[in-house]
């Protein structure tokens, strides 16, 4: 189907490359690294996480907290943490966010050798070498290597929302790696492993998103995501044609949730057309920029909302409406809690 739809930011119920490109230009990735030395500098900070329902990986975030995946901790409030030299500690889950699949765990009296792993500044660069350290199938301290294969990916979740700004790598990641770090050759965390096990494809939650979410999990136990209350689709050539667009660009508003932030501000699709045998939306606003940042796809919109905005913030949305470009002001809401 042309332009997979979402519900809005970070959403496949709602999901900026220009922003990412600007960040990439400011970051020079390390090269010609010594895998063994990078591994030795980082592995002491990587832990095994065990609950009654399974196991995964985590890593030291600050003096008292570890980062892992929300799906690793599940519904647990306590879990067992094993450090590099075999010491076990009890961990307390202080916060989880299912929309980014991140969790923060407090551990008292962690071993002194297990020091916090820093995150990268800026965005990873496609082609730079990376290491994945974790516990696949319970094999503790396992190292795999590869490169950054892609950035600004959207990861579908069972909740109907996408995790935005994800990092793709060809470094092997398997069950048990979840929650562990993807590390650059200067020993900094590029992303938190979220999923793997495919043919040379694994994904991680970006350092940029993790650095927004984790501090709030530690302080408040949760994280509030910005929310537009719309369903969107990337404008493809098939969508551009019946909407009288000379070039495909932006995202089309398919639906607006009644009573949501965009109700009365953005206009939804009013009809459909069949193009080359596929039914596509027509007549809705086409979003082409947020606060002056060009939006070319659903992934770019999702990443911008996730990394640059907060609930209750008012942003300028540039749309093409009835063939004319104009800007409207939209006050973002808070993404509703998932239904259990």
Active-site positions read 71, 101, 178
Q: How far apart are CA 193 and CA 165, in angstroms?
A: 13
Q: 20 phi and psi, to 5 degrees?
A: -65, -40
Give yes or no for a contact between 131 and 244, defined as CB atoms under 8 angstroms apart.
Answer: no
Q: 70 phi and psi, to 5 degrees?
A: -60, -35
3-state secondary structure of 303: helix
Q: How far apart are CA 74 and CA 340, in angstroms?
A: 13
Q: How far apart are CA 133 and CA 80, in angstroms?
A: 19
Q: How far apart are CA 216 and CA 236, in angstroms?
A: 37
Nearest CA to 98 out of 77, 78, 70, 74 is that of 70
Nearest CA to 42 out of 133, 135, 123 is that of 133
Alpha helices in the chain (DSSP H): 17-25, 35-42, 70-73, 207-220, 237-240, 298-308
3-state secondary structure of 316: strand
3-state secondary structure of 204: strand
Give the number of other Cβ atoms within 10 Å of residue 63's Cβ: 9
As given in the structure block, the two tokens for residue 112 are 């002194």
């Amino acid at each position: 189907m042309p332009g997979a739809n979402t519900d809005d930011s970070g959403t496949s119920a709602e999901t900026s490359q220009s922003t990412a490109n600007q960040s990439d230009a400011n970051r020079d990735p390390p090269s010609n690294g010594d895998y063994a030395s990078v591994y030795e500098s980082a592995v002491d900070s990587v832990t095994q996480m065990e609950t009654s329902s399974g196991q995964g990986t985590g890593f030291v975030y600050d003096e008292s907290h570890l980062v892992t995946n929300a799906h690793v901790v599940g519904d647990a409030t306590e879990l067992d943490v094993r450090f590099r030299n075999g010491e076990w500690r009890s961990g307390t889950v202080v916060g989880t966010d299912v929309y980014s699949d991140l969790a923060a765990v407090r551990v008292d009296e962690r071993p002194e050798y297990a020091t916090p792993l820093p995150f990268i500044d800026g965005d990873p660069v496609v082609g730079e070498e990376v290491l994945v350290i974790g516990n696949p199938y319970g094999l503790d301290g396992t190292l795999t290597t590869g490169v950054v294969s892609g950035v600004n990916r959207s990861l579908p979740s069972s909740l109907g929302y996408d995790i935005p700004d994800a990092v793709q790598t060809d470094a092997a990641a398997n069950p048990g790696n979840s929650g562990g770090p993807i590390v650059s050759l200067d020993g900094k965390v590029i992303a938190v492993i979220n999923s793997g096990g495919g043919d040379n494809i694994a994904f991680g939650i970006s350092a940029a998103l993790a650095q927004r979410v984790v501090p709030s999990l530690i302080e408040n136990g949760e994280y509030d995501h910005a929310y537009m209350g719309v369903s969107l689709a990337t404008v493809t050539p098939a969508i551009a044609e019946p909407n009288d667009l000379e070039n495909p660009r932006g995202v089309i508003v398919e639906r607006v949730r009644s009573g949501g932030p965009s109700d009365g501000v953005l206009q939804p699709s009013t009809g459909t057309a069949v193009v080359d045998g596929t039914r596509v939306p027509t007549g809705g606003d086409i979003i082409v920029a947020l606060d002056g940042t060009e939006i070319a796809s659903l992934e770019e919109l999702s990443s911008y909302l996730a990394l640059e905005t907060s609930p209750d913030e008012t942003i300028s949305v540039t749309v093409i409406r009835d063939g004319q470009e104009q800007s409207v002001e939209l006050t973002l809401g808070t993404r509703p809690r998932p239904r259990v």
